[in-house]
Structure 1
Amino acid sequence: MNTQSPNSWQPLLGGIVAALLVLIAFNSFVILNPGQAGVLSILGKAQDGVLLEGIHLRPPLVSNVDIYDLTVQKFEVPAESSTKDLQDLKASFAINFRLDPLQVVEIRRTQGTLQNIVAKIIAPQTQESFKIAAA
C-alpha cells in the first residue's frame, strides 16, 4: 500500500524548475575583461556592434559571444627564400599586431578566429615580403 501523498513530487519539480531558472539567469550574462572585445552571435549570425569590457546581457540558450584579445599579440614567422645567386636564406620574424576594436565584428564575419587571421593573412604576407626583399 502506498502511503505517500499524490503531491509529494511537487517540491522536487519546483526545485528542478528553480534550478533551471537560475542556470538560465546565469547564462544570460557575459563579462569581458579589459583588453577584450566580444561579438554576439544569435543563432549563428554575428550581430552588429562590438561588446567592449564590462558586463553585458545576452539571450540565453540561443546566443554565443566570441571573445577576441585586443592586446598586442606576438607571432613568430619562419621564412625561407633564395637570392639571385641561389644562396639559401632562412630567417625568423617576430610580428607584433593588435586588432582594431571597431573592426572586430567584420573580422569575425570574414576571418573567424584569431588563429585564422594569423594563418591566412599574417604568415603568408610576412613570407611573401621576405621573398620579395631577398630576390
Structure 2
Amino acid sequence: MTKIENVIFSGFTHTTVNHDPNAQRGDHGVVDIQLSAPGGDSHEFIGAVPHPTAEQFFAGAWSACYITALGLAASLKKVTLPADFAVDIQVDVGQAGPGWFLAAKFTVRLPGLDQDLAEKLVHAAHEICPYSKAVKGNIEVAVNVITA
C-alpha cells in the first residue's frame, strides 16, 4: 500500500444517526443529505459544501455504511451505543511520486463507552462494512476512537 506524500485535496464528512427529524440542520450555504441503509435507520451527512466533491461523496457513502455496520457490531455484542455517537471521515486524494492515491482518516466518537470495548466495536464494524472491506489493503486508513 502506497502512502500519500502530497495531499492535493481532502473531503470531510460528519455522520450521525438522526433520532430527531426536527433537529437543527446545517448552516446556510451547506448541504445536508439524509442517507438510508438496510434496516431503515436514517443517517445524516451534515454540512457538505453546496457542490460536494467526489471525495466528500465517497466519505459520505462510506460513513453511512460504516455507521450502520457499527450499530450492527454493537448489537451483535449486545452493547447499546450512546445516542450521540458519530463518525467523521476525511478522504484525502494525493500523490506519491507520479501516482495518485486515496487515504482515509476516521474519527469515531463513542462517548461514555470503555475505550477497549469501543476500539473492538470500531474494528468489528470495519470487518462488516463493505466499503471498509473494499479498500482494505488498497488505501491507508487511520482510525481514532474517542470515548471521552
Shorter-chain TM-score tier: under 0.3
Using the size of structure 1 for normalisation, the TM-score is 0.28
Using the size of structure 2 for normalisation, the TM-score is 0.26
Per chain length, whose mean CA-contact separation is higher, i.e. which structure has more relative contact order (CA < 8 Å, sep 6+)? 2
Task: Flag the structure with larger Rg.
Answer: 1
